[in-house]
């Protein structure tokens, strides 16, 4: 009896399979990353390095000024409610004033209410301009409250 040739001494092949040549092909793994993925990974690595550096030097570097108006939803909602309240109050005051001046004429009372509403909007606009100009003008001399805040932060 002839010994059956084998590829591996521990594996015995059936003699009918010996006439076939087996090619075991190594599977192709995607070793190359796409350019988009490489760019994204580089960007993420840079962001991670910047965040790590910022964490290391956070006690040394001065804090960034984030006193922008309406930088949060709380500020936006507060300002919006304030505008609505001033407009409503202006309408009521104008309505009552024109009703007292011109009798009980509904057209004149409504006109007074609209005039009060417009005046309320003008007041809110002026207040908004004053509020934003205080924070956007860095070369102004600091007031006493700003000076005390600076000393407290140091």
pLDDT of residue 70: 72
Quick one: pLDDT at residue 1? 46
Q: How far apart are CA 24 and CA 15, in angstroms?
A: 19
What pLDDT is stored for residue 103 in this prediction?
86
Mean pLDDT confidence for 5-21: 64
> Each residue of 37-91: pLDDT tens digit?
889 999 999 999 999 998 888 888 776 665 666 778 888 898 899 999 999 999 9
| 87 sits in which H/E element | helix 73-101
Return the SS3 of 52: helix
Distance CA 75, CA 69 (A): 7
**Residue 96 pLDDT > 70, yes or no?**
yes
pLDDT in tens, 98-115: 999 988 889 999 999 999
pLDDT at 67: 64
Give me the residue label for tokens 């006690």: 59
The pLDDT of residue 8: 56
Q: Please state the separation of Cα 2 from the chain's center in Å.
A: 79
Higher pLDDT, 122 or 146: 122
**pLDDT digits 0-9 by tens, 111-138:** 999 999 999 999 999 988 888 887 666 5
What's the pLDDT at 50?
Answer: 93
Q: H-type helices in 102-143, by residue range? A: 106-136
Phi, psi of 62 (to 5 degrees): -70, 150
């Amino acid at each position: 009896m002839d010994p059956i040739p084998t590829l591996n001494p521990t594996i015995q092949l059936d003699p009918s399979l010996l006439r076939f040549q087996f090619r075991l092909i190594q599977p192709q793994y995607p070793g190359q990353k796409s350019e988009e993925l490489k760019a994204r990974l580089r960007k993420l690595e840079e962001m991670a390095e910047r965040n790590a550096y910022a964490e290391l030097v956070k006690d040394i570097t001065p804090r960034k000024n984030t006193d922008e108006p309406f930088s949060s939803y709380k500020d936006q909602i507060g300002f919006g409610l304030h505008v609505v309240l001033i407009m409503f109050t202006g309408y009521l005051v104008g309505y009552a004033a024109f009703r007292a001046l011109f009798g009980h004429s509904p057209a004149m009372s409504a006109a007074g209410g609209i005039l009060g509403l417009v005046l309320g909007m003008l007041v809110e606009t002026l207040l908004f301009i004053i509020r934003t100009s205080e924070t956007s003008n860095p070369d102004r001399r600091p007031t006493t409250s700003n000076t005390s805040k600076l000393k407290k932060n140091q």
